[in-house]
Amino acid sequence: MKKDYYEILGVQKNASSDDIKKAYRSKAKTCHPDLNPDNKKESEEKFKELSEAYEVLMDPQKRQLYDHHGHEGVSQTFRGGGFSWDDFHHFEDLQDILGNLFGGSIFGDFFGGARSTGQRSRRGGDLHVILSVTLEDIVNRVTKKFKINRYEACSACSGQGGHDLVNCPQCGGRGQVRTQSRSIFGTFASISACPQCGGRGQIVKNVCTSCQGQGRIKKQRTIEIKVPQGVAQGQYIVLRGEGHFGPGGKGSIIVEFEEKPHQYFERRGYDLYIRMETPYSMLINGGVLHIPGLNGSKEKVKVPKGSTAPQIVRARGKGMPRPDSGRGDLYVELDLKPLAKKDKELKDVLEQLKKYEGPSAPLTRGR
Ligand SMILES: [Zn+2]
Ligand SMILES: [Zn+2]
């Protein structure tokens, strides 16, 4: 059973990012593995758990997914399905937080390949989009378009930031530098990404003028997406490789669906509810109601003879489509249709009707 991220950091559900940063700061200081040489394994686990919680709660998009769907909701945003240091975006924060303690260098060997290769921080970021859809859009699986602004590889330099790569003079092409630092806790040797080349091992001789050496350019794009069959409020799909460009790979677009309220229908799971005016004569004699369906055609629903109002009639298989196959049910709430005219003739008809009505009697509750 995975622990709650808010619990791990010891913050409230509505904590601000400042609160979260403060909590992470104080906890990271106590459980950093380099400060606990006697139980390194355990503190490594704790530190990683803490950093996973921090990673999710500091990212508004991931935090929203977590709030709505729990651990399940964010696992997809981690490459490989579970959190690893590859997914951590806040090494700079860590440096900021622990920098003073360690005289500026905190990246010990335990961060493993993730940091030393410099790949992590170079993957493009994700984009989170909330897409409003109507019930009609869902039933008819329409194609929706939305605009995004994303970084793409600069075409002039193929994302390199410039031309003529040469080995970095500071690290000699290794991409890493080894530093020793002294602190009250002792001397620490650590490997960190080379500050000059950012871990790449190479630098460009001629900086690209199109992107000013960034290797990426912001572009507005229109993305098309087919609304998945039966999709429901809060569900999302991940468009891998459609997010921001980075030298370590492209990020994703996470499209979350938001259902617009419908004029007539209410959705509960895959069932639909609608209220229909039903003429008195149809309640008595039975008949067929024509319901405006979400796919544009009329759904016929049989009203049994001797119905009353209010009463609910169920039409099997006429609700929302399910993602795999089949449909939920349609529930029609019968309400009495008011009479259109109240003239003398109608008054006579109603007088006649009295013969058939008999006296009123109380009804058993909960029928
Ligand atoms: Zn360029
Ligand atoms: Zn270098």
* 271, burial (CB in 10 Å: exposed 0-12, middle 13-18, buried 19+): middle
Q: Render 334-354 in DSSP notation, one character per residue.
A: EEEPPPS---HHHHHHHHHHH
Residue located via tokens 């970084």? 151
How far is Cα 320 from Cα 138, in angstroms, rounded to an integer? Answer: 8
**266-357 has CATH 2.60.260.20 classification:** yes
Query: Residue 92: its pLDDT value, please?
Result: 63
* Averaged pLDDT, 137-151: 95
Query: Residue 285: its pLDDT value, please?
Result: 95
What pLDDT, in 10s, does the model give residues 4-34? 999 999 999 999 988 998 898 888 877 776 6
Enumerate residues with CB within 5 Å of ligand 1 (an ion). 154, 156-157, 208, 210-211
**Least distant ligand from the CA of 209:** 1
Q: How far is CA 69 from CA 7, 51, 75, 353, in A?
A: 16, 20, 10, 57
What pLDDT, in 10s, does the model give residues 323-360? 888 999 999 999 999 887 767 888 888 888 888 888 88
**Least distant ligand from the CA of 213:** 1
How far is Cα 317 from Cα 320, in angstroms, rounded to an integer? Answer: 8
What tokens appear for 256 in the block?
Answer: 């979350």
What pLDDT, in 10s, does the model give residues 199-241? 888 888 888 999 988 889 999 999 999 999 899 988 888 898 9
Its pTM stands at: 0.58
H/E run at residue 297: none
186-193 vs 176-183, strand pairing mode: antiparallel
Q: How far is CA 101 from CA 48, 107, 127, in A?
A: 19, 12, 34
The domain limits of the chain are 1-98, 266-357
User: Contact 307/290 with Cβ under 8 angstroms?
Assistant: no
Banded pLDDT at 68 (limits 50, 70, 90): confident
What tokens appear for 243 in the block?
Answer: 């997010």
Look at residues 54, 59, 57, 72 and name the one whose alpha carbon lies nearest to residue 2: 72
Residue 40 has pLDDT above 80, yes or no: no
**Least distant ligand from the CA of 162:** 1
* Averaged pLDDT, 146-171: 90
Higher pLDDT, 83 or 97: 83
Ligand 2 centre to CA of 273 (Å) is: 64
What tokens appear for 146 in the block?
Answer: 């939305």
What pLDDT, in 10s, does the model give residues 281-327? 999 999 999 999 999 999 999 999 999 989 999 999 999 999 888 99
Distance of alpha carbon 13 from the chain centroid: 17
330-336 vs 271-278, strand pairing mode: parallel
Ligand 1 centre to CA of 214 (Å) is: 7
**Radius of gyration, alpha carbons of the chain:** 32
Query: Residue 227: its pLDDT value, please?
Result: 93
Residue 98 has pLDDT above 80, yes or no: no
Ligand 2 centre to CA of 177 (Å) is: 8
Which CATH homologous superfamily contains domain 1-98? DnaJ domain (1.10.287.110)
How far is Cα 61 from Cα 254, in angstroms, rounded to an integer? Answer: 9
* Averaged pLDDT, 73-96: 72
Q: Render 221-280 in DSSP notation, one character per residue.
A: EEEEEEPPTT--TT-EEEEET-S---TT---EEEEEEEEPPPSS-EEETTEEEEEEEE-H
* Averaged pLDDT, 78-99: 69
Q: What are phi and psi of 49, to 5 degrees?
A: -60, -45
Name the residue type at position 69. H
Higher pLDDT, 340 or 259: 259
Query: Residue 113: its pLDDT value, please?
Result: 31
Banded pLDDT at 186 (limits 50, 70, 90): low
Banded pLDDT at 91 (limits 50, 70, 90): low
**Least distant ligand from the CA of 167:** 2
Measured between alpha carbons, how far apart are the two ends of the chain, in Å?
Answer: 44
* Averaged pLDDT, 180-193: 70
Higher pLDDT, 195 or 264: 264
